[in-house]
Amino acid sequence: MSSSPILPLELEMAIFELCALSLPIFIPKLMLVAHRVKEWVEPILCRTICICPDDSAPEFPHFTQDTVVPFIAHKTTGFLRKHVRHFAHIDEMPVEENGKCLLAICSDVENLWIGYTNYTWICLVENLPLKRLDVELHLFLRLVEPTRPVFSRLTHLTLDEPAAASALARLPMLSHLALSWRHAKAAEYGQVLELKTLVVFIIFQSSSSTVAAEEEILWLTEDLRFVIMPLRNFICDWHSGIRKGEDYWSDAEAFVAMRQTQGANALSCVWEPADSEPKSDAA
């Protein structure tokens, strides 16, 4: 392809941006077409930074522990701060200095997923304008006071480890909460259901029908906002939610709307995929 524009620049830019948004995995190749194309599509690539294993989400561009270092080296602090809005570090290794360095630069991240890590990164996120947070950090909400600014805009929270329900109930904007079944048995989660802002409460479990039959959770099934979901490919889900607005949150919202129309019974809180095929339990 010629490096000189053939179409009007505005039309050419719109075409390449549409391609980048539709097929994000090809953005690195689109960046090689011409310098002007790189300037158009690279911000779309950098909008979502995901550090994860190579085969976790084959349809989406991602970084590894090794590739993220040269990426940081070739980008200015201003560029990263301006464009990065979604950040995930879900490699099987703890967040090393490269990941921390990148997160420290990306001060306008609104959607954060941190896994397999320790406490040292908390200071990096306390001032982020977070709206969505997915953490596997032990006792996260006991380490960071719920009244801190980092929680003031938080609407979506996914926890894979225990957190005090009393702390969750103090999050002022919390509308979507997802928990692992092994950390969601206590009756104290009734405090969370008292939140007027709460729209969806998800519990993930590999055998959803078994969970629904547990006496300890029967009291929850009567709440129309409560949804039991099987485990799924959370990395692909995270990307899909960002790119298309289709993820476990959107599935749960549609399911809750259906429950509110049809009413509830002890087992109606169990969500199943439309195609009835089990989804991957990769986390």
Res 115 pLDDT > 50: yes
Model pLDDT for residues 38-69, shown as the tens digit of each residue: 999 999 988 998 887 666 677 778 777 777 77
Alpha-carbon distance of 176 to 131, in angstroms, equals 11
Model pLDDT for residues 164-177, shown as the tens digit of each residue: 677 788 888 999 99
8 Å CB contact between 264 and 224: yes
Question: Residue written as tokens 């995930």?
Answer: 88
Cα 216–Cα 222–Cα 225 angle in degrees, nearest 5: 105
Report pLDDT for 279.
Answer: 42
Structure tokens at 225: 């906002």
For the chain, domain boundaries: 141-283
Sequence-ordered list of residues with C-beta below 8 angstroms from that of 225, at least 6 positions apart, any chain: 193, 198, 199, 200, 201, 256
Mean of pLDDT values over 133-146 = 68
Model pLDDT for residues 183-200, shown as the tens digit of each residue: 555 556 777 788 889 999
Model pLDDT for residues 218-273, shown as the tens digit of each residue: 667 778 898 888 888 888 889 889 988 999 999 999 999 988 888 656 458 888 88
Say what the pTM is.
Answer: 0.80
Report pLDDT for 280.
Answer: 41
Report pLDDT for 126.
Answer: 78
- Spell out the alpha helix ranges (H) of the chain: 9-22, 27-30, 35-47, 68-73, 77-83, 97-105, 122-125, 140-143, 165-168, 190-193, 208-213, 215-221, 234-244, 248-262
Res 18 pLDDT > 80: yes
Cα 273–Cα 274–Cα 277 angle in degrees, nearest 5: 55
Residue 201's pLDDT band (boundaries 50, 70, 90)? Answer: very high
8 Å CB contact between 113 and 89: yes
Among the listed residues 266, 282, 185, the one whose alpha carbon sits nearest the alpha carbon of residue 233: 282
Residue 283's pLDDT band (boundaries 50, 70, 90)? Answer: very low
Sequence-ordered list of residues with C-beta below 8 angstroms from that of 205, at least 6 positions apart, any chain: 180, 181, 211, 228, 229, 230, 231
Backbone φ and ψ of 205, nearest 5°? -160, 140
